[in-house]
Structure formats: C-alpha cells, structure tokens
Amino acid sequence: MKRYMSIAPAVALMLVMSMCNPSQAASVTATWTYDYNANPPCSATVTVSCVSGFQFLDVTTSTHVILATVANPTPASGATTVSTTVSNASLGARSFSVAATYIDGSGNAQVGPMATPVTVTITPNAPTNLTVVVAP
C-alpha cells in the first residue's frame, strides 16, 4: 500500500528583524511551529514518507529565493518550534515564507506547500554620532 504525504505545514511563521551595526546588512530571524504528529521527521530508521527539513524563502517576487535550508530540530516530535537566521537581507518591503521538505514514499525529495507569507519592511540603520554646532 502506497502512503501519500500531505505536507500542509502546521506552520505559524513569525519574523523578527534586527539591525546590525552600520557596516552590516539586516539580519532576519524566522521562527515557526511544525507539527510532526502528522508527518514524522526523517531519521536513520525512517527514510521515506518523512519530513527532511525546511526551506526559508524570500517570496517577494515571482522568482522565489531560498535563503536558508533548515534541518529538523532535535528532538523533532509533536508541535516543535524551528528557527533560522539569515543575514544580508535586502532593504525594502520583503515577503518571507517557509516550506517543509520531505522524502516521499518512493524516496524522492520533494517540497511541500508554503506557509502564508509574512511581509516586513527592512530599513537601513539610523545614522549615529550626529553633532550640530550653532555659531553665534
């Protein structure tokens, strides 16, 4: 009997944007929850019909860009929080999403549906060390 996987990620995607010092670009941390009760993580003993990890993507344009490939956390069971941080995020309004990657029943690597995208605006750091001199 063939087992088909439905990777409809029980994913709630939350993004936190943090700015680094002025010589660095923005850093974006994404945190989501994945429910492994529906689909088990891949392991040494579970090699098909399993979740192999995640892709964190910039989906701002129609050409989606994989920003990070994220492994399953350890342990991965039940509703588990997963996160990743990427640096050098582009400035402006950006939309991000995450998708589970999995190995299907035939042993082929696949990508499941994406979570609802989250849009944030990434701005540059504010200038520092402003000095104003007023002459009489």
| Assigned domain for 3 exists | no
- pLDDT one-digit tens code per residue, 54-69: 999 999 999 999 999 9
- pLDDT one-digit tens code per residue, 80-134: 999 999 987 888 999 999 999 999 999 999 999 999 999 999 988 888 888 899 9
Q: In the structure, what pLDDT confidence band is assigned to residue 14 with cuts at 50, 70 and 90? A: low
Both tokens of 28, joined, read 């974006």
| Assigned domain for 78 exists | yes
| Assigned domain for 33 exists | yes
Closest listed residue to residue 76, CA positions, set 123, 42, 111, 46: 42
| Assigned domain for 69 exists | yes
Give residue 56's domain range.
Answer: 14-122
More confident residue, 16 or 120: 120
| Assigned domain for 25 exists | yes
User: Minimum mean pLDDT among 19-23, 48-52, 80-84, 122-126: which range?
Assistant: 19-23
Its pTM stands at: 0.76
| Assigned domain for 6 exists | no
Both tokens of 70, joined, read 């994220």
Phi, psi (deg, nearest 5) at residue 109: -75, 135
* Number of domains composing the chain: 1
The residues, ordered by sequence, that sit 6+ positions from 63 with a Cβ below 8 Å of its Cβ are: none
Predicted pLDDT of residue 26 = 80
**Measured between alpha carbons, how far is 113 from 54 in angstroms, rounded to an integer?**
11
Both tokens of 79, joined, read 């509703």
Name the DSSP class of 35: E
| Assigned domain for 31 exists | yes
